[in-house]
Amino acid sequence: MRGLGYYTGVIFEVVAEGMPGSIASGGRYDGLIAALGGPDVPACGGSLGVERIIGLLGDAAAHDERTDVALTVIAEETAADVMGFAAVLRDAGLRTEVYLAASRKLAKQLKWAADRKARFALIYGVGDKEAGGVAVKDLDSGEQEQVPAAYLTQRCVPTG
């Protein structure tokens, strides 16, 4: 039970087996906004413990199969295209992750891909965009080739 006096109605907590405390909670708190200087309106809300939820997922993720494709983001002007590639690859059923920042440090992004045990890394910079292709690096063999963007799903299907 939430031990906070500002709740005026229903209070909830979500718990998960193996996790001490709650992973989400909330309730109804009429009068709280007025007490903080705002208008007197009825209100309710809740919160999630993102770190706790990630902690729960971490154990399950350790048993998952490897990532099929890790996509790098070399420049901000290519990020939208990279997200589009990710959507196409996911629609094809490939486990796909995107590096969530633009960084010219390719080595850092390839290490990130290797840490996720990705089979392929896609490298897509401004030059690739102008050429209409994507560099696909096979992280098992180390081989890299330029592939037309339209053929990404065929090239990134793991064969073994």
- Per-residue confidence of the chain (160 residues) as pLDDT tens digits? 455 678 888 888 898 887 777 889 899 989 888 988 999 999 998 888 887 777 777 655 454 578 899 999 888 888 899 999 999 999 999 999 998 876 778 888 899 899 889 999 999 888 888 888 999 999 999 999 999 988 888 888 766 5
CA 88 to CA 157: how far, in whole Å? 13
Is there a single domain that holds both residue 55 and residue 77? no
Is there a single domain that holds both residue 53 and residue 84? no
Question: Domain for residue 76, yes or no?
Answer: yes
Is there a single domain that holds both residue 41 and residue 113? no
> Which of the listed residues 61, 80, 98 is the one where a domain comes to its end?
61
Question: Domain for residue 49, yes or no?
Answer: yes
* Strand bridging mode 69-71 / 120-123: parallel
Is there a single domain that holds both residue 87 and residue 27? no
Specify the 3-state DSSP secondary structure of 61: helix
Is there a single domain that holds both residue 77 and residue 56? no
Question: Domain for residue 151, yes or no?
Answer: yes
Is there a single domain that holds both residue 101 and residue 31? no
Q: Which domain holds residue 121?
A: 69-155
The pTM for the full model equals 0.59
CA 4 to CA 94: how far, in whole Å? 45
What is the model's pLDDT at position 82? 92
Is there a single domain that holds both residue 96 and residue 29? no
CB of 73 closer than 8 Å to CB of 83: no
The CATH number of the domain holding residue 141 is 3.40.50.800
Q: Which residues contact 111 (CB under 8 A, 6 or more apart)?
A: none
Question: Domain for residue 160, yes or no?
Answer: no
> Which of the listed residues 20, 36, 61 is the one where a domain comes to its end?
61
Structure tokens belonging to residue 134: 């994507």
- When divided into structural domains, the chain yields a total of 2
What is the model's pLDDT at position 20? 72
Is there a single domain that holds both residue 116 and residue 95? yes
What is the model's pLDDT at position 7? 85
